[in-house]
Structure 1
Amino acid sequence: MRFVLLGAGVGALSLLVVHGQAGVRSSLPLPVLVAVAALAGVAAWRAQRSWWPLAAVGAAAYVWLVMWPPLLVASFFAGTALRRARDLAAYAGGAVVVVGLSALVGLVQGGEHEVATATLGNTVLMALAMIGLPLVLGLWYRARREVLEAARERAERLEREQVMRAEQARAQERARIAREMHDVVAHRVSLIVLHAGALEVRAGDEETVRAAALIGGIGREALTNLRDVLGVLRAPRPEDASPAEEGALRPPPTLGDLDRLLDQSRALGIPVTRHDEGAARPVEATVERTAYRVVQEALTNVHKHAGNAGTDVRIRYRGDELEVEVRNERPAGPREELPGAGWGLVGLRERVELLGGTLRTSAQDGGGFLVHARIPA
């Protein structure tokens, strides 16, 4: 669109320039002047692809008719396109030849043409104004554009380097966390599993054997989950993981694994009741995983803070969402609470909100506690 407007402007200005010269207007018919101006406009419109036709039309029109607009625009494009000093010198030499030929034609024709191009002052002024100044402006424009492009490339390179440094720092931090978890958490859980196995072998009554077997099973499952988490931490990006590593990871739990989770809590002495409301239907895997984690974290808090308090787990299938509600009763008698980091519900709320859902937690009037999540499904 810019070059269309440029072509139209050059054509109109060229016609205005030659039509204002009485000698040219009287010696040439108007259709010829219009055709020359239109040719200059078309050449200016095509200057985006090649500026040499515009320079040729401008040189001929200047020598013949003192039509300066196409030569002025061509000089600007020459400044933006010519990069070698030899090319610039060649263009300047050609411009001198054009000015000289125009002066000779002016001497032959006389009148306004001679005054404009054949007198020394006007010749120098026209050469500087119509060729020299546009050429300098073109050189300045090209230099400014190159500086801006270099600055943009440098900014993009710095941004890429900054992203790479951030990725490297994240990878190092993830590796450090993985090492700490392996050296501390995995070691302690492994000791729990070993002691549970020893107790299972040495215990004399069936109840202790079952409890030890349950502890050992939970510990081994925790080690498996911890191994999966460490594998994720060790891989900076999912695409960096090899197919063998991906195959080694267990699929994350979903609502299909919920009964096994509830059975583990029941085996530890917590009466847990599950209620499903609404027509069960398949939902996205991320929604099921989040719902599972809501129940898991709520039951963990029951273990820590409420002992063997009765707990109700409700899964409600709504029209466009999945509701998960875990409500426990008031614990019976005093109980020593297990230590916790205090980040469980915070992380759970972040997980739910990432899916566009809401998580509400509140203490109940009867002394119990409620965890309620609404997840778009």
Structure 2
Amino acid sequence: MRFVLLGAGVGALSLLVVHGQAGVRSDLPLPVLVAVAAVAGLAAWRAQRSWWPLAAAGAVAYVWLVMWPPLLAASFFAGTTLRRGRELAAYVGAAVAVVGLSAVVGLVRGGEHELATATTGNALLTATAVIGLPLALGLWYRARREVQAAARERAGRLEREQVMRAEQARAQERARIAREMHDVVAHRVSLIVLHAGALEMRAGDEETERAAALIGGIGREALTNLRDVLGVLRTPLPEGVVSAGREVALRPQPTLGDLDRLLDQSRALGIAVTRHDEGAPRPVEATVERTAYRVVQEALTNVHKHAGNAGTDVRIRYLDDELEVEVRNGTPAVSREELPGAGWGLVGLRERVELLGGTLRTSAQAGGGFLVHARIPA
């Protein structure tokens, strides 16, 4: 668009300049002057692709009619385009030759043409205003553009380096977390599995043997899940990929189809768990099923920690466009010492549910007990 405006401006200004110099244009008819101005404007419009036609048109128009706008525009483009000193010197020499040739033509024709081009003062003024200043302006514009381009490239390089440093720091932190989890958590869980196995072998009654076997099985499952997590932490992320959207080749995650096994584990530890399914069961997204499973899992874990042998109801409701999960436990019949916890289970669970556009509500019940209620779009 700007080159269209440039072409129109050069053409209009050229016609205005040459039409106002009756002695210079001699007796040329107006259509000829309009055609010459139009050619100059067209050459200025095409200067984005090649400015040499504009320089040629400007040289002919200046020598013939003292039409200076095309030559001025060509000098600016020469400053923005020519890179080597020899090229600039050649252009300046050619432009000075055009001014000299126009002076010769002025001497031959006489009149206003001679006054405009053949006098020393006017020739110097024309060379300075039409060639020197536009050429210097073009050189400044090109230098400014190169400085800006270099600044943008430097800023982009610094940004890429910053991203690389952040990725490196993230990878180091992930590796540190993986080491800590392996050295502390995995070691302690392994000891639990070993002691459970020893207890199972030395158990004096069948009930103790079943409890030890259950503890060992849960511990081995925890170690398997922990190894999966450590594998994710140890795996470097590819460039441009964030961890939240990365697909990691793991074994299938638990869904609602695995819920009964989870409830059986809680029952084996002495908790009376009752499952209620409401509505017509239907397939839902895998992420929804996994989240529903984690809601029940976290709620039962809290029952184990804080409520001991309290009876617990688990309800799965299939609504038209939602899946409701409700875990409600009563007051334990026998108080017991609470197990320590990090306190982040429900926080992480709420984040997991909200990522799917759902809501999680937790509250203590008036008659005792606790309620965990999740609504997940499905």
Quickly name the TM-score band, shorter chain normalised: over 0.9
| Residues in 2 aligned to 1:83 and 1:26: alpha-carbon distance in whole angstroms | 39
Written as runs of structure 1 = structure 2, the 5 A alignment for 1:12-91 is: 12-91=12-91
Task: Kindly state the Cα deviation for residue 131 of structure 1 after the two structures are TM-superposed.
Answer: 1.0
Equivalent residues of 2:232, 2:248 under 8 A apart: no
Q: In the alignment, is the contact (CA less than 8 A) between 2:312 and 2:327 conserved in 1?
A: yes
Q: Which residue does 1:105 correspond to in 2? A: 105
What's the CA shift string for 1:21-72, capped at 9, x where partnerless? 1124551111111111111111111111111111111111111111111111
Equivalent in the alignment of 1:204: 204
SS in 1 for 2:352: helix
State the match for 1:169 in structure 2. Answer: 169
Aligned to 2:314, the other structure's residue is in SS state: strand
Taking a change above 3 Å as real, the CA distance of residues 102 and 221 of structure 1, as seen in their structure-2 partners, is same
| In 2: Cα distance, 1:268 partner to 1:171 partner | 39
Is 210-219 or 317-326 further displaced after alignment?
317-326
Deviation of 1:3 after TM superposition, in Å, equals 1.0
CA shift for structure 1 position 277: 2.2
The sequence identity of aligned pairs, in percent, is 88
Counterpart of 1:273? Answer: 274
1:230-255 Cα offsets, whole Å, 9 max, x none, are: 000001227999xxx965x3222222
Q: Counterparts in 2 of 1:136-285, with a 5 A limit?
A: 136-237=136-237, 249-285=250-286
The Cα of 1:357 is off from its aligned counterpart by 2.0
Give CA-to-partner distance per residue, 1:214-234, whole Å, 9 cap, x none: 001000000000000000000
The residue type paired with residue 368 of structure 1 is G
Q: Does 1:344 align with 2:345?
A: yes
Listed as ranges, the gaps of 5+ residues in structure 1 are none
The code of the aligned residue for 1:362 comes to S
Q: 1:339 to 1:94 in 2, by over 3 A?
A: same
Superposition TM-score, scaled by structure 1 size = 0.95
TM-score (norm 2): 0.95
Q: Look up the SS of the partner of 1:27 in the other structure.
A: coil
Aligned equivalents of 1:82 and 1:18: distance in 2? Answer: 29
Deviates more, 1:344-353 or 1:216-225: 344-353
Secondary structure of the residue aligned to 2:9 is helix
Partners of 1:78 and 1:317 in 2: CA distance: 75
How much has 1:282 moved relative to structure 2?
A: 2.3
Q: Mapping of 1:321-336 within 5 angstroms?
A: 321-336=322-337
Counterpart of 2:163 in structure 1: which amino acid?
A: V
Q: Deviations over 1:276-329 (max 9, x none)?
A: 222322222222222211111111111100111111222222333322221111
Range with greater deviation from structure 2 (141-150 or 322-331): 322-331
1:117 maps to a residue whose letter is T
CA shift in 2, pair 1:63/1:26, >3 Å: closer
**Which residue is equivalent to 1:129?**
129
Q: Distance in 1 between matches of 2:248 and 2:326?
A: 33
Contact 2:199 2:209 in 1 (8 A): yes
Greater alpha carbon shift after TM alignment, 316-325 vs 142-151: 316-325
Q: Closer, same or farther in 2 for the Cα pair 1:151/1:238, shift >3 Å?
A: closer
Shift of residue 162, structure 1, vs aligned partner: 0.5
Task: Output one character per residue of 1:186-222: Cα deviation in whole Å (capped at 9) or x when no partner.
Answer: 1111111111111111112111111111001000000
Conservation of the 8 A alpha-carbon contact between 2:25 and 2:65: no
CA distance in 2, matches of 1:321, 1:75: 71
Matched, 1:374 2:375: yes
The separation in 2 between residues aligned to 1:371 and 1:16, in whole angstroms, is 84
Considering only aligned residues, what root-mean-square deviation do their CA atoms show, in Å?
1.8
Name the CA shift for 1:238/1:190 in 2 (closer, same or farther; >3 Å).
farther
Deviation at 1:111, TM superposition (A): 2.0
Whole-angstrom distance in 2 between the partners of 1:69 and 1:318: 77
Shift of 1:355: 2.0
Q: Note the C-alpha offset of 1:334.
A: 2.1
Q: Does the aligned pair in 1 maintain the 2:24–2:111 contact within 8 Å?
A: no
Determine the C-alpha separation between the residues in 2 that align with 1:321 and 1:89.
Answer: 78
Return the letter of the residue paired with 1:264.
Q
Amino acid aligned to 1:125:
L
CA distance in 1, matches of 2:26, 2:68: 19
| AA in 2 matched with 1:302 | V
Look up the match of 2:294.
293
